[in-house]
């Protein structure tokens, strides 16, 4: 249950459509009342995030076998995985229940296939071509905050900054590292990006995409889920968190600017 938690928690589920096991979980997952997003997350080696050559090298090293042996193992595995595609079953299970996205799209064909099976979001496309195709098809594009904060993808894929330069990005997600959400927001402020536009990437836009119309903006009638923070150079320091208008977290220090214009905490 989530009733006794301090903040709202929702489930963002990445499902592998190329495995038989996924069929065992679809009905059970529909019963999760805090499930808000379903994403196709294909894990076929050599596809999407990592090129085949890199996968072969890693498998050879990890298993202590030759690259030729590793390649044969991987190619056999790829053949088995490609024979399975349960995107249609996932779509049928969730299209009336939660929005559907696609993870690590690399080619325009990946995006087109995802949209055919109901996807309306391209989550962290790995190439500019995939991001462009998603926007062309009217899909939302989500990029990871760590990518923006560090100035590029940790594995050499599409840079969030490059995608933003072409106005291809609608939503930021934490991608497993929550502090970079606020850090990226501050970095965008310092880069001269319009504060409202930057904030909407993490608040209003995702709320609207997920159909959570009562969240994501500060206006009359909206749910009062609010975060206040101070800016300390390139970092944001959370000072207060309110959920439904009730204080859930508050720091016990006072911040002020000293005579040198520096933020001081006491």
Q: CATH number, domain at 80?
A: 3.20.20
Do 85 and 164 lie in one domain? The reply is yes
Provide the pLDDT for residue 3: 63
Assess if residue 148 is contained within a domain.
yes
Provide the pLDDT for residue 122: 98
Strand pairing class (100-103; 235-243): unpaired
Give Cβ neighbours of residue 149 (< 8 Å, ≥ 6 apart): 180, 183, 184, 187
Strand pairing class (246-250; 235-243): antiparallel
Q: Please list the pLDDT of the chain residue by residue as tens digits (266 residues).
A: 556 788 899 999 999 998 888 999 898 898 898 999 999 998 766 566 667 777 788 888 888 888 888 888 888 777 777 788 999 999 999 999 999 999 999 999 999 999 999 999 999 999 999 999 999 999 999 999 999 999 999 877 899 999 999 999 999 999 999 999 999 999 999 999 999 999 999 999 999 999 999 999 999 999 999 999 988 878 898 999 999 999 999 987 666 667 777 766 66
C-alpha to C-alpha distance for 238 and 251, rounded to whole angstroms = 8
Do 154 and 230 lie in one domain? The reply is no
Do 107 and 185 lie in one domain? The reply is yes
Assess if residue 80 is contained within a domain.
yes
Do 136 and 228 lie in one domain? The reply is no
Do 228 and 211 lie in one domain? The reply is no
Provide the pLDDT for residue 265: 63
* Domains identified in the chain, total number: 2
Assess if residue 1 is contained within a domain.
no
Of 180, 197, 218, which one is at a domain's C-terminal end?
Answer: 218
Provide the pLDDT for residue 76: 77
Do 161 and 208 lie in one domain? The reply is yes
Of 218, 233, 257, which one is at a domain's C-terminal end?
Answer: 218
Assess if residue 103 is contained within a domain.
yes
Do 151 and 263 lie in one domain? The reply is no
Do 198 and 140 lie in one domain? The reply is yes
Q: What is the maximal distance between C-alpha atoms in the chain?
A: 67
Domain residue limits at 244: 224-266
Q: What is the dihedral of CA 47, 83, 22, 114, to 10 degrees?
A: 50
Do 56 and 142 lie in one domain? The reply is yes
C-alpha to C-alpha distance for 95 and 88, rounded to whole angstroms = 10
Do 112 and 230 lie in one domain? The reply is no
Distance, first Cα to last Cα, the chain: 37
Assess if residue 6 is contained within a domain.
no
Q: Which helix (H) or strand (E) element contains residue 256?
A: strand 255-257
Assess if residue 3 is contained within a domain.
no
Do 50 and 86 lie in one domain? The reply is yes
Assess if residue 4 is contained within a domain.
no
Provide the pLDDT for residue 235: 86
3-state secondary structure of 266: coil
Of 197, 218, 239, which one is at a domain's C-terminal end?
Answer: 218
Do 259 and 192 lie in one domain? The reply is no
Provide the pLDDT for residue 51: 72
């Amino acid at each position: 249950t989530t009733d006794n938690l301090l903040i709202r928690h929702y489930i963002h589920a990445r499902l592998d459509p190329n495995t038989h096991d996924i069929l065992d979980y679809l009905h059970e997952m529909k019963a999760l009342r805090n499930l808000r997003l379903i994403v196709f997350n294909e894990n076929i080696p050599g596809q999407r995030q990592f090129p085949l050559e890199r996968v072969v090298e890693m498998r050879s090293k990890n298993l202590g076998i030759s690259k030729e042996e590793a390649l044969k193992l991987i190619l056999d595995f790829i053949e088995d995985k490609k024979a399975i595609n349960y995107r249609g079953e996932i779509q049928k299970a969730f299209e009336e229940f939660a929005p559907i996205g696609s993870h690590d799209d690399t080619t325009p064909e990946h995006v087109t296939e995802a949209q055919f099976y109901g996807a309306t979001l391209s989550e962290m496309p790995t190439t500019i071509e995939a991001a462009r195709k998603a926007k062309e098809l009217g899909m939302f594009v989500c990029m990871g905050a760590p990518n923006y904060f560090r100035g590029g993808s940790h594995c050499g894929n599409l840079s969030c900054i490059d995608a933003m330069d072409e106005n291809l990005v609608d939503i930021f997600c934490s991608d497993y590292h929550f502090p970079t959400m606020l850090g990226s927001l501050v970095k965008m402020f310092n880069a001269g990006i319009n504060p409202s536009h930057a904030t909407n990437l993490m608040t209003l836009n995702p709320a609207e995409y997920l159909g959570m119309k009562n969240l994501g903006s500060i206006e009359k009638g909206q749910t009062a889920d609010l975060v206040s923070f101070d800016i300390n150079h390139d970092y944001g320091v959370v000072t207060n968190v309110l959920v439904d208008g009730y204080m859930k977290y508050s720091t016990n220090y006072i911040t002020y600017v000293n005579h040198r214009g520096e933020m001081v905490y006491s």
